[in-house]
Amino acid sequence: MLFVSHDRYFINELANKIISVRDGHAKIYNGNYSYYLDEKAKQAAAAQEAEAQKAETETTSSASQNKGKLSYQEQKARDSQKRKLERAVSDAEAKIEKLEAEEQEIQTEMENPDIAASFEKLGPLQEKLSAVQEQLDQANTDWENALETLDEFE
């Protein structure tokens, strides 16, 4: 069922998927309106953090170009920042592996003949699979952003 409303309470109570259309692109959020707002806040925070890291990286790289050699404290701070970025990349890779394993597990469970024949059992699994796939898409985006930031840092 599709409904359009400006009543947030109504949407929050009835919706189990939100389709957000912005700038000519549609994005599906598997959850109610509160879940949608939480995800938008997370995306905004991640974008702000990436922008702050990018600005900090640009400042650090321009300062290092001006001075030639970095002082001990500056080098230490730069190394620390690099380790944080490397850790963010490895954490994102670990999350992707975990979500891919979970996705495979759900798909295997859905292939079970007893479950595949029962709509009541298959429905919740499909919803769970969709949620895991959304998380996997977000994790891949986070990984790409972290890797790009790390590449720019170096």
Predicted TM-score (pTM) of the model is 0.51
User: Does residue 135 sit within a domain?
Assistant: yes
Residues linked to residue 39 through DSSP beta bridges, in sequence order = none
What is the extent of the structural domain holding 80? 8-153
Measured distance CA(113)–CA(109) in Å, rounded = 9
Report how many domains make up the chain: 1
User: Within a 13 Å sphere around the CA of 84, how many CA atoms are in the beta-carbon half?
Assistant: 12
User: Does residue 60 sit within a domain?
Assistant: yes
Q: What is the pLDDT at residue 95?
A: 92
- Count of CB atoms within 10 A of residue 30's CB? 19
Q: What is the pLDDT at residue 64?
A: 55
Q: In this predicted model, what pLDDT tens digit does every residue of 64-94 receive, in sequence order?
A: 555 556 788 888 888 888 898 889 889 989 9
Q: In this predicted model, what pLDDT tens digit does every residue of 11-40 receive, in sequence order?
A: 778 888 888 888 888 888 888 888 888 888
Spatial CA neighbour of 89 closest among 150, 48, 138: 150
